Every structure is written in C-alpha cells, then in structure tokens.
A and B are shown apart, each in its own frame.
Chain A
Amino acid sequence: MPSWPILTAERHRQLAFGWLFICLMLVAALFWLLPRSQINSSVLALLPKQQLQGVPDDLSRGFSQRLDRQLMWLVSPPAGQGSEAALEWLTMLRQLPALRQVEGPMDTQHQQQWGEFFFQHRNALLDDATRHRLQNSAQAQSQWILGQMYSAFAGVSGKELASDPLLLVRGSQLAQQQSSGGMILDNGWLTARDKQGRSWYLIHAELNASSYDITSSKQIVASLNGLEQSFRQRFPGAEVLQRGTLFYSNYASQQAEHDISTLGLTSVAGVFLLILLVFRSVLPLLLSLLSIAIGALTGTVFTLAIFGEIHVMTLVLSTSIIGISADYTLYFLTERRVHGGQSSPLESLKKLFPALSMALLTTVAAYLMLLIAPFPGLQQLAVFAAFGLSAACFTVMCWYPLLAKNLPVGPAPGLALFRSWLNAWQHGRVLRMGLPLIVVGLILAGFSQLKINDDIGDLQALPKDLQQQERQIAALTGQTNDQKWLVVYGKNAEQTLQRLEALRPKLQQAKARGVLDGYRLINLPSQKQQQEDLNLLRQRAPEVLSQLAQAGVTLKPADLSPQWVTPPAWLESVVSQGWRLLWLSLPDGRTATLIPVSGVHDSAAMSELAAKAEGVGWIDRKTEFSQLFSQYRVMLSLLLTLAVTLIAGVYLWRFRLPHGLVCLVPTLLSLGMGIAALAFSGHSLNLFSLLALILVLGIGINYTLFFTNPRGTPTTSMLAIFMAVVTTQLTFGMLVFSSTQAISSFGIVLSAGIFTAFLLSPLTLPASKSGSAS
C-alpha cells in the first residue's frame, strides 16, 4: 500500500466517482431517515439505561414516560383574595390544546361520587386503623364508634349510622386525609398554606405530546409564559409556581440550541478566517466546507440509522468535529501550497497518506473508546465522529487531488517563524528542558488542588428560578422531586397488589427506623385482602353491634355483602384520581405500582429492603448514577493508563531509548495539563474529564505522529500542526464557553491538553540532526 504502484490517475478518478456515488446515497439516506427520527433533548436520556433491579423494562419505561408528561402548578391569589385567581389560571390552562386532563378543584358532583364509591365498597376498602381495631377486638371498634358519636364536631348523623353502622366509610376517609401530605381540601381545591399564611391552590395537567419533543415543548413553554404574563397583569400580586419535566428539558434544549448556534458559528467563522489568512484564496474555504459538510452528513446518517434519534448534546459536541475534519483538508492543501510546484496532486496524496491515515485512525480509535461508557449521548458522539471524520478524510483523499489542481502555489506565511521555533527546540536547551519543566510545575500545582466529584447533581446546573420554585413546591406539598421510588411489580394486578401489601409493614418499620420520612401507597386492596377483611367484618360485626346496644345505641345490622373493588373499576372511579399515575398495567397483564417516597436518609437500606422483598425494585437514579460515574471514572483511568503504556511500548520499539521516552513526554504532560487546567478553573474531576483526556490522547498524538513521520518536512508539518491546533482550539476551545457545565469542563480539559501537546510536540524531533528543517 505505501508505495501504491497501482494508484494511477485513472484509478483515482474511479475512486472519486465511487465516493461521489456513496455521498449521493448518503444524501438520499438522510432524506429517508429525517422524517423517521427525532431529536432528543432529555437530560436523563444522556444517562445510562440501567436495568432497574429486575423491574421489567416496559414497566419502568412506561412509568418514566408517564411521569415526564406531568405538570403541576401552585397558584397563590393576591393577598386577601380567594380562589378566583386560581380558577382563572385553570380556565386559561384548559384552553391550551397541548394540555389534557387539566384538573383543579373537585366539584360537588365529584365529591359526591367519591363518597358514593367509598360507601358502595365500604366492606372492601377497609383502612388500616379500622382493620387493626377489628383484629384487636370488637370492643375497640365499638368504643371508637361511641367516641365518634359523642363528639360534637365529628358530625355523625342518624342517616350515617343507619346506612353504615360500623362507620367504615368514616374510617377510610379519615385515613385518606391522614395521607394527604400537608394539603388541605378547601372548597374542593387541594390547597397548601405557607408560613406567611398564603394559600396555594393546586392544579395538575398532562402533556399531550412527550415532553422530549423539542419543538412542541418550546411552543408550550412559550405559550405558558405568555399566559402567565397576562395572568399576572390581571391579578397583580398573584404567584404561580410550576413543576414538570417539560420545564427542565426545555431549559436544557434551549441551552443546547444557544450553544450550537453561537459556539458553532464562532467555530466555523474562526476556521474560515484562518483558512483565508493562510491561503488567501476562496477555494480552500469551499473545500473545507465541503469536507465538513460531508463529514456532518455521514455522521448524522449513521447516528440516525444506528440510534434512531440524535441527542441535542451530540449535536453540540459534534460542532467540535468541525475543527478536526477541517484538519485533513488543511494538511493536504498546505502540502499543495508549499510543494505544489514540484509534485503532482497524486504524489502529494501518496506522501501524506501515511500521516493522514494514521491521524484518522488514532482519532477515530479515541472516539470509539467513548463507546465503552454507557452514556447514550457519548455513544452517539462516538459514532457520529468516527463516521463523520472518516468521511471527511475520504473526501480529502478521493476528491481533493482533483479539485485542488488550481490552488495557487506559494510559500506559506510564517514559515520563517516556524523554522526559528523549531530551531530553538532543536538547539536551545532552555526550551527543550525549560518548557517541559514549567509545565510539570503547573501540573503539580494543579493536582495539589484537584477535587474529585461524581455527584451527577452538580452536572445539571439548573437555573436559579426553577430550583427556587422546586424548593417552594417541595416545602408546600411535602412532595420532593428527587426521583426516588419503589416499584412493586407482578405477573398480574392481583400479584402486584399482594406484593404491595406484603411490603407495607416493612415500609412502616423502615419509617419508624428513620430510613425514610414518608411514602404514599395506592388505596386499592388486593382481592385476597378484600376477602380477609370481609371475613373479619362478618366475624366481629354482631359483637360490635351488641356492645353498642349495651351502651344504649341500638343500630340496624350492617350490610356485610361482598363489595369487591376490581382494578378496572377502581381506575374508572373518581377515587383513583391522583393515584392512577402510580398504576401501570401492560396489555399482557403485567402490572406495576409506583411508591413515591420522600426524605430518604439511607438509600442503601432502601435498596436492601427492596432486594429482600419479592417483586420490588428501588429506584434512586441520582445515587445510582453517581456510583456509576465513579465506577466508570476508575475504569477509564485504567484504560487510559493502558493506552499510554501501549503507546510507550510502540515508541520505545520504534525510537529506542532515550528518544522513545522523550517522545512520550508531550503525551504525558498534555494529559497532566488537561487535568491541571480543570483544577485551576475550579472544576472537579469526573467521568467527563476522563473522556476528554481520551480525546486529548487521540488527537494530541497526531502532532507527534506528524513530526515523527519520516517522509514529512518538519516546517510543513509544523504549519499543518499549527493550523490543526488553531482549528481545534477554535472548536474545542469554544466548548469552554458552553453554558452546560459538563460540556464546559470537557472543553477545558480538551483545549488545555491539546494546546500542551502542540506546544511540546517539537520535542519529538531528533535533537542531534541540525539544520535539516526545511
């Protein structure tokens, strides 16, 4: 291959047409794929899809999709006003076509239906306290009934006693109130009151579309903001708090959009400016644009074909590939500009082929290493980069020898400068020894203040006002949004419910032990429980009534017919309102229920509790992800060490001692400097920093390769490397300014590391051979 006797001009022409054909196919593929794909902007979608402790995938996916659609508002009217403001907000929301099931106050009819359902199924819907009393003794229940009857404010009426002598409905309603979690029912509204005495009215709604859908979520948030403005004008002093995945994902996608448009444009503009400055011709500009475009096309097509979607984060990070894919064009065009007079385009290609292909291989290999990390966003980036960069490089190889024929030939600017820079490296001990030592000093200083942080929460820098609202809502409703749940699942509804009932006492114990502050269970008993309760009622009822009669209260015997509640009936009834969300049944019968928990103090104990119970999974995304982050951070560190060792081996084998070791210096120091820069900028080390280091290794090593390429001319290499570094800095450097912290710290490591690799790369030139640099 290296000598390429077979690559004639004719062959190359065929190759060019072949590549054109492939490119056209790719365009066709893009048009076919685009309507079938979607852009994903969910922050959570960037995170690993983990198997949730045996919770069937369909069930956990079903739940997360459903939860992502939920929206809630807390509306506080202006001081001194009642619920009119909340009612107005509700009316406004109901007019939005993007929302469905906008629910505010429970009207009288609903409240009646609610009471009726409990009445009709009172023998089946026993509350815990009543069950305990009955299990304890008939005496306990009859005493409780008497207590209620004598209480002036309990409002036990003759009608109630006649229809429900055991006061079962009363018992279950009291229990319901007990689990209301800090909310008060006020004229049908669920309300909360804050410390200043302001009332907050709760409104709930569901999104019609998935909240991941970027365009629609943007529209919905915009129209909601518009509504809020006119609402605030009508009710000055009123307050609205909102919660929902929609707001977070919209924020994230807007950030990303902002990043793509500004950072991407700046990168492209910078790269173009550089090309114009160096070549003083428009042709290289167009050629770079062409290879970037084909790279982007190929990357998009393969990403969409493999993943069926592309994540916004991938798009942001992909802008960084612009710089690298321009490098190939620039390397080739620099060669043509400097040596175009002496050699044919095809000869230039043959001369550069080893360096180009080596550079492509190392970079692609580095990107492909990102596939190891289980992060969908990074995996997409890896695929995008691997295919995109290859296509950009193929474009250079196949087309540019033909397209660059008319490139004006002439000395590249700044050659003299590069020559003296290289001479200084080769002859001056000051530079050869001094600069690396300074870098070592900086690295040591940086490492001394390096912090490691695997907490995923620190990566999602949420806007202050959303965080503030979140805290307020959590304080008012007692429901935190910390993504912690227990999932109980089973083959069918009955099994799920029985497992839930088995879990209940364990949860009570855990709460008593202080493992968690609270939890909410759906109020649907299993068939088995209903049967047991009915037996209990039939056993105790006569005794309870005779004890009441002894106390002077003679009541009609209770109706003790079975009043079964089936899951479908429960779902259709008004009593499941607000609970339906927590119940999911698949067409094949598999069913799960979600238990939202709050104030978890010991995630490990919860995990243990779930592991010991059958059909129960503990979901704590944040803690799990943080553990995963640290695991992969350690794993990548080992991988990186392995890669460096491998490279050291190759260098030693190729260049022998001591030069082999000298060649390793820029690589090692660039890695160190990337981390040190991270520490200096106040960020802490995490998984993303290590992923960036892998790219530093893969890209930085190119510079060494260009210099150590025996066929290359050091000054031309220097120019090509210089341009490559500038383009890389223009793109990766831009990531530093990303408003997403994870991307920004990624950018810092990359740009500092690559700059160091560039700065120290002349070290790999053999010191002894002098004056040969031209």
Chain B
Amino acid sequence: MIRTVIFLLSLFSLSAQAVTLPELQQRFSQQPVLRADFSQQRTISGMSLPLNSSGNLLIARKKGLWWQQEKPFPLTLLLTENRMVQTMAGQPPQVVTADSNPQMFQFSALLTALFQADQQALEHNFALNFSDKGQGAWQLILTPKTAPLNRLFRTITLNGQEYLNLIDIKDMQGDETHIRFFNQRTEPAALTDAELAHFDR
C-alpha cells in the first residue's frame, strides 16, 4: 500500500519536473515487463508501395526482447543478453550469439538499448540530442557516429511520453521507417509460462 503511494507520488513529481534522459532510463528500467503492439511502415525509395507490417512485442527486464511480427508474414526475433534468434516460417532459426557474431549482435542489442533508453550503450554509438517537449513528452534524436552505423542511418528519432511511442528511422539511402507503438501495458508484471518459454528456449 505504502509502496503504491510512493510510486504515485513519484509519478506525480515526474510530470511536474522537466524530463531528463537519465531519469527516463531510470523509469524504463523500473518496468519489469512491458507489452505493446506495433505497426511499422517502411518506405523504400524506388518502390511504389510502402511495406507495412504489424505485430506485438514484449520486453522483460533481465530477459530480453521478444519481437513478433504477425503481418504480412510471421517473423519472430528473440533478443537476449547473449543471443539473437530470428525465426521465419519454413526456415531454420538463424541464431547469432555474442560470441559467434559480435558485430551483428552489437547491432541488434541497440534495439534493446533504444527501448530501455540505455544512455551509456547509445552514447557509445550515437550523438544524443534529448529534448523535453513539455507535459512529460520527450524526444531523443540519435545521430550515429561510428561505422558501420553511420553508413546505414542518418538519424533515429524516438518520441514518447510515459512510454516510447514512436521510432523514426531515416536511412542514409533516403529510406524511412516509422514504428508506432500502442496499447502499452506493464501489467501483469510477471511473465506467463508461455512467455518465459520463449526466452529460456
């Protein structure tokens, strides 16, 4: 009971103060589990139609990220502390471990860093530009400063308020990706057995 009061108080004080990145990181790291739906639109230059996809994701602290694209075809991406598994129908799972392919792994680990606003991990690869948009809304613009990221992305922009709501990725080649997150929920705070099985597999 007391804990809930303190939590509410802290939420209240949060919105009263200006948002900072360390604080955001602190806040995100306090969410043991985050579930959300996403819809993604990728615009590739030279192609008439944008590529739309959607699905859901699950971030569990100390476990990793479970990204499940449902449409237009199922594709799952599991990202844990030391391995990344990409699964597509009809194909053997593609496993990348931190040991076998640190390059690729480092790249994928960025994804987790984005969701957790992990300042240290991001600062290693990007110049950060954080701004408070008022009423608890914030924006973080990432400009890659190391190769090979700087040859792939122009900027990665994160927008959010209580949660991360939008990722805009501008590629060097003029392509763009927008990922919108919605229906974010932190409850139930524990993983179901089925969810646990994804990570421990």
Contact = CB atoms under 8 A, between A and B. Distances in A.
Contact of B46 (A111, A149, A162, A183): A162
A182 B97 CA distance: 10
Contacts of B73: 143, 146, 551
Interface in B115-165: 146-148, 152-153
B188 interface: no
B114 to A, nearest CB: 9
Nearest to B77: A151
Nearest to A184: B102
A157 B103 contact: no
Contacts of B110: 153
Contact of A152 (B42, B48, B103, B106): B42
A584 B153 CA distance: 40
B152 A155 contact: yes
Interface size class for chain B? 35 or more
B102 A182 contact: yes
A161 B44 contact: yes
B106 A184 contact: yes
B175 A157 contact: yes
A185 B171 contact: no
B184 interface: no
A111 B151 CA distance: 11
A153 B40 CA distance: 12
B80 interface: no
Interface stretch (B12-20, B88-96, B190-198): B88-96
B103 A155 contact: no
A140 interface: yes
Contacts of A111: 147
B147 A157 contact: no
A158 B88 contact: no
A177 B173 contact: no
A185 B103 contact: yes
A540 to B, nearest CB: 15
Nearest to B102: A184
Residue picked from A160, A177, A188, A478, most chain B C-beta under 10 Å: A177
Interface in B45-72: 45-49, 51, 53, 69, 72
B186 interface: no
A576 to B, nearest CB: 20
Nearest to A156: B44
A774 interface: no
A23 to B, nearest CB: 66
Given A143-B90, A184-B102, A185-B103, A157 B146 contact: no
A178 B90 contact: no
Contacts of B173: 155, 157-160
Nearest to A146: B73
Contact of B44 (A158, A180, A184): A158
B200 interface: no
Contacts of A653: none
B146 A147 contact: no
B7 interface: no
B31 interface: no
B104 interface: yes
A157 B90 contact: no
Given A140-B90, A150-B42, A160-B173, A182 B147 contact: no
A147 B69 CA distance: 10
Interface string B18-51: 0000000000000000000000101011111101
A186 interface: yes
Nearest to A178: B101
Interface in A151-208: 152-153, 155-162, 174, 177-178, 180, 182-188, 193
A651 interface: no
A365 B169 CA distance: 83
B177 A178 contact: no
A25 interface: no
A339 interface: no
Given A140-B91, A152-B179, A158-B173, A551 B147 contact: no
A552 B49 CA distance: 8
Contact of B45 (A146, A157, A182, A188): A157
Contacts of A162: 46
A184 B108 contact: no
B107 interface: yes
Q: Which of A143, A149, A153, A188 has the most CB of B within 10 A?
A: A153
A149 B152 contact: no
Contacts of A740: none
Interface magnitude class on chain A: 35 or more
Contacts of A147: 75, 86, 88
A186 B146 CA distance: 7
A553 B47 contact: yes
Contact of A153 (B96, B100, B108, B174): B108
Contacts of A155: 152-153, 171, 173, 175
Nearest to B41: A152
Contact of B147 (A150, A187, A478): A187
B51 A158 contact: no
B11 interface: no
Given A143-B89, A153-B108, A157-B45, A180 B40 contact: no
A187 B125 CA distance: 10
A188 B89 CA distance: 35
A157 B101 contact: no
B51 A157 contact: no
Contacts of A174: 104
Contacts of A146: 73
A337 interface: no
A419 interface: no
A741 interface: no
Nearest to B146: A187
A146 B94 CA distance: 15
A152 B169 contact: yes
B40 A152 contact: yes
B91 A153 contact: no
B40 A157 contact: no
Contacts of B167: 152
Interface in A70-111: 108, 111
A623 interface: no
A733 to B, nearest CB: 52
Contacts of B169: 152-153
A529 interface: no
A349 B154 CA distance: 97
Nearest to A157: B173
Contacts of B75: 147, 150
A182 B45 CA distance: 35
A496 B183 CA distance: 59
A193 B103 CA distance: 12
A418 interface: no
B153 A188 contact: no
B175 to A, nearest CB: 5
Contacts of B108: 153
A153 B175 contact: no
Contact of A143 (B47, B91, B153, B174): B91
Given A108-B147, A161-B44, 10 more contacts: A147-B75, A150-B69, A152-B167, A153-B110, A155-B152, A157-B175, A177-B101, A178-B104, A182-B102, A184-B102
30 contacts: A108-B147, A111-B147, A143-B89, A143-B91, A147-B88, A150-B51, A150-B53, A150-B69, A150-B75, A152-B40, A152-B42, A152-B169, A153-B108, A155-B152, A156-B44, A157-B45, A158-B47, A158-B173, A159-B45, A160-B173, A161-B46, A177-B103, A178-B96, A178-B100, A178-B101, A178-B104, A182-B99, A184-B106, A185-B148, A187-B147
Interface of A: 108, 111, 129, 133, 139-140, 143-144, 146-147, 149-150, 152-153, 155-162, 174, 177-178, 180, 182-188, 193, 478, 551-554
Please list the 5 inter-chain residue pairs (A to B) with the smallest Cβ-Cβ separation, ordered nearest first.
A157-B173, A158-B46, A158-B45, A155-B152, A184-B102
Interface of B: 40, 42, 44-49, 51, 53, 69, 72-73, 75, 86, 88-91, 94, 96, 99-104, 106-108, 110-111, 146-148, 152-153, 167, 169, 171-175, 177, 179
